[in-house]
Amino acid sequence: MTSLLDELTQAVGPAHVLTGNAIPPQHCTDWFNAHTHQPLALVRPGTPDEVARVMAICHRHGQPVTPQGGLTGLVAGATPNEGDVALSLARLNGVEEIDTAAGTLTVLAGTPLQTAQEAARAAGLLLAVDLGARGSCQVGGNIATNAGGNRVIRYGMFRDQVLGLEAVLADGSVVGGLNKMLKNNAGYDLKHLFIGSEGTLGIVTRAVLRLHPLPQSCHTAWCTLPDHDTVVRFLRHAQAALGGTVSAFEVMWPDFHELVTTRVPDMRSPVAAQGLQVLIEMEGSDTERDMPMFSAMLEAAFEQGWLLDAAIAQSLKERESFWRLRDAVSEFPLMWSPYCGYDVSLPIGDLGRFVDELQAALRARFPHCEHVHFGHVGDSNIHVGVHVAAAHGPFPEAEIDACVYGVLRRYGGSVSAEHGIGQHKKAYLGHSRTPQELALMHTLKRALDPHKLLNPGKVLA
């Protein structure tokens, strides 16, 4: 063991191999402090080349490694097992190049997302994926988990932003490159092995991200609709009428809306009507013509009888108040402990019946529970939260999991739309993937990491 630590120290310098109490506690646990283990060491390489050297050393010693980005994931995907080497990418921090002709940004994996976003904006371009953790999460972690967020409906997931990437394999070899081309069919597209595989097949060290034109206008409305089928009709109408510029389509079921407006201080709904609440936003390029187009789209929906009520944000402040209502989910851990949250996806047309059936199942099984349903319906993704007050006995987390995932399974849904599997959802992966698919995942894992050194215990059982 001394030899391993000595070699790691030689590779990255004594200041960057921490052991024992010197390891900051967040490197030993997950977001909910549910999985806490002491790693053998926290190693902080400073360059992609040092990452490769660290992996080569660990490979020689048969030493498991848990890669760590910004530690903002919600599924314990970057939490070490006892005795792992925790490998932090945080020192690989920096935007290396912005190529405005190619429309690309080349960035080191440990760069915070917000730093990359701001660099793109300073060059007059948009790095399109955005999420709440932007200030802490890192681009490499965003890639490893295929992060989603609020603008997926317009620009896709993180996968869709990645043109090229460089990754270190289990044996320390470096693959991939800084491809800037939108089209490249020269052999297998290897980057997809590393996007969304949560560090179990390789460690992302560097990436080329696609940039988009900066939008020039933003229009936001809050609408109330009677039922889910009408919500889907409204979604498709808006997308057809606005030429691909719909950048958010968030739906809040009545359980969410009532909880937030009655229990969170200073939250008022922009409309009075009861029903499904929809926050819709477009980002356009034409400051004169976009507002008339957005209004005309809403008027046409009114004429169809789809909207019970609607309000267009008349100011940046009003827009912020709409989003504050949608983002009140951040209050749940404070007012609702203990609770459990889910991140599921289903075919868009099935979401309404799924929520109805799940609400009935939850109320039947847990009569004292409270629940919320809300999310990125335009992306086929909703979040579910369930709370049972402590007065009603020990929190039945495993039973709630089984109830939610049981209903989901009947609809052919996914147990993870955007958060990933990590450790939290491993037991339910088979609800969304066939035995043949799981077998092929194991085949890939064996081929790329035969000694199970990379992020062991995550994703696959």
Give the count of beta carbons closer than 10 Å to the beta carbon of residue 408. Answer: 23
Stretch that binds a copy of itself, among 38-46, 233-241, 308-316, 324-332 (CB under 8 A): 233-241
**Closer CB to a copy of itself, 39 or 73, in the complex:** 73
Q: Are 408 and 354 spatial neighbours (Cβ–Cβ below 8 Å)?
A: yes
What residues contact residue 450 under an 8 Å CB cut-off, 6+ apart?
170
60, 192, 363, 368: residue in contact with a copy of itself (rule CB under 8 A):
192
Q: Which of 33, 173, 295, 337 binds a copy of itself (CB under 8 A)?
A: 173
Residues 411-450 that bind a copy of itself (CB under 8 A): 413-421, 425, 429, 432-434, 436-441, 443-444, 446-448
Here's the x/- map for a copy of itself, 331-350, by CB under 8 A: it reads as --------------xxxxx-
Least Cβ distance, residue 119 to a copy of itself (angstroms): 17
Q: Which residue in the set 3, 33, 100, 304 belongs to the binding site for a copy of itself (CB under 8 A)?
A: 100
| Nearer to a copy of itself (CB atom), residue 271 or residue 293 | 293
Smallest gap from Cβ 439 to a copy of itself, in A, equals 8
Q: Which of 38, 115, 205, 380 binds a copy of itself (CB under 8 A)?
A: 380
Q: Which long-range CB contacts under 8 A does 6-10 form with residues at least 24 apart?
A: 7/57, 7/61, 8/41, 8/43, 8/54, 8/57, 8/58, 8/85
User: Minimum distance from CB of 214 to a copy of itself (Å)?
Assistant: 7
| CA gap 87, 69 in Å, rounded | 9
From CA 299, how far away is CA 297, in angstroms rounded?
A: 6
* Site size for a copy of itself (CB under 8 A): 98
**Residue in 197, 230, 269, 277 binding a copy of itself, rule: CB under 8 A:** 197
Q: How far is the CB of 89 from a copy of itself (least distance, A)?
A: 20
Q: Should residue 49 be labelled a site residue for a copy of itself when binding is judged by CB under 8 A?
A: no
- Residue 178 vs 361, nearer CB to a copy of itself: 178
The window from 134-142, 171-179, 273-281, 306-314 that contacts a copy of itself (CB under 8 A) reads 171-179
> Looking only at residues 295 through 314 of this chain, which bind a copy of itself when binding is defined by CB under 8 A?
none
**Phi and psi, residue 147, nearest 5°:** -60, 155
Closer by beta carbon to a copy of itself, 6 or else 189: 189
Q: Which stretch binds a copy of itself (CB under 8 A): 28-36, 107-115, 189-197, 260-268?
A: 189-197
Asked if 407 is part of the footprint of a copy of itself (rule: CB under 8 A), the reply reads no
- Least Å distance, CB 32 to a copy of itself, is 19
Q: Which of 232, 301, 355, 407 binds a copy of itself (CB under 8 A)?
A: 232
User: Is residue 383 part of the contact set for a copy of itself (CB under 8 A)?
Assistant: no
To a copy of itself, the closest distance from the beta carbon of 248 in angstroms equals 14
Interacting residue with a copy of itself among 48, 70, 103, 112 (CB under 8 A): 103
> Cβ of residue 108: shortest distance to a copy of itself, in angstroms?
19
Does 177 bind a copy of itself (CB under 8 A)? Our answer is yes
Asked if residue 242 binds a copy of itself (CB under 8 A), the reply is: yes
Q: From residue 182, give the alpha-carbon distance in Å to each of 2, 63, 179, 428.
A: 47, 38, 9, 35
Among 17, 95, 119, 157, binds a copy of itself (CB under 8 A): 157
